[in-house]
Structure 1
Amino acid sequence: MQVIEATTVIHAPIARCFELSLSIDLEAEAGRPQRLRAIRGRTCGIIGPEEQVTWRTKQFGIWVTHTSVISQYRPHEFFEDSMVRGVFRFFRHQHTFRALADGATEMRDYLTFAMPYGPFGLVLEKRFVRKRMEDLLEVRNALIKRTAEADGRRQYP
């Protein structure tokens, strides 16, 4: 099982950061290099509690789908998306938000996943999948930060 943790400080209100983290459109833009698209469930706008989205992407030359649900939701503090169906044996992404004294927001990601296929899956996790997930998370968080700090010039529903 792999665990990826990331912390991003964003100079924007907590509500804005929280909402942008739930944006299907922003996630799709961050995943554009992997041809990530929402194809079922909530496919645009802001995903909410107990809603599902099915993503389609090309990984290592193969089209794969991943369906997740917003399984926990506390406005402006925390949400969790968990895999319903997909290529992983296990997948959970927890998002935590904390207002800082200067009006900024600390956004923390805690992503846990595991591949099936026993020892072969463990090799895939460590050598390939982890790096892809880290890269996607880094691009996504940088886009959230840029968008949130842009004073509304760039909008996502």
Structure 2
Amino acid sequence: MMQFEKHSGLYTLYTEQILNISIEEAWLFFSAPENLNEITPPKMGFEITSKVDKRAYPGQIITYKVGLFQGITQNWVTEITQVKHQEYFIDEQRFGPYNLWHHEHFFEALSEGKTLMKDKISYKLPFGILGDLTHRFYVKNELKAIFKYRHEVLEERFNGK
């Protein structure tokens, strides 16, 4: 499931996916920043540039290089602002391409050792109406492609599909 909304000048993207792994396994994978590379499309040239030797914790700063357009990369700095073990963590962009990027990751244990993973990403683009046009014709499609890729990688890795 993937859904976009616009409200009060913000966009929000919601995604959900059921994984055939325990909540413990899900938490171990998703709270390890180095696993971001595996679930990010290769065309983005994603590269973590900071040392990430610990699982997500409040106050953790992670720096990346991310391809915005073909051959053009941008530095991106996020902070893990909140963590509740095996329930959720939140990352927020401190510097990067968005005026606001607030990403909530939720995990819920289901029966039979499965986990429901939900994402809620609230974001705002710069440049007012030009940002809105860029969202309509580019950013929304790029985010769809990124989260579709992630969904497919996770289906293959954890759901045997």
- In the superposition, the TM-score normalised over structure 1's length comes to 0.84
- The alpha carbon displacement at 1:145 in A equals 4.4
Q: 2:145 aligns with which of 114, 118, 135?
A: 135
- 1:7/1:106 contact within 8 Å kept: yes
Paired residues in the alignment total 149
Whether 1:19 aligns to 2:32 is no
- In the superposition, the TM-score normalised over structure 2's length comes to 0.82
User: What letter matches 1:84 in structure 2?
Assistant: R
Q: Which moved more, 1:75-84 or 1:130-139?
A: 130-139
Distance in 1 of aligned mates of 2:153 and 2:34: 11
Name the residue aligned to 2:126. Answer: 116
Distance verdict in 2 for CA 1:75–1:141, change over 3 Å: farther
- The alpha carbon displacement at 1:124 in A equals 1.2
Higher relative contact order (CA 8 A, sep 6+): 1
Name the residue aligned to 1:90. Answer: 100
Structure 2 gaps, min length 5: 1-9
Distance in 2 of aligned mates of 1:142 and 1:71: 28
Q: Deviations over 1:103-156 (max 9, x none)?
A: 210000111111111110111122211221222223224334443457xxxxxx
Whether 1:48 aligns to 2:57 is yes
Distance in 1 of aligned mates of 2:54 and 2:154: 14
Distance in 1 of aligned mates of 2:131 and 2:78: 21
CA RMSD, 1 decimal? 1.9
User: What letter matches 2:26 in structure 1?
Assistant: C
Distance in 2 of aligned mates of 1:141 and 1:45: 25
Structure 1 gaps, min length 5: 151-157
User: What letter matches 1:69 in structure 2?
Assistant: E
Q: Deviations over 1:28-60 (max 9, x none)?
A: 123222111011253x66333321111112212
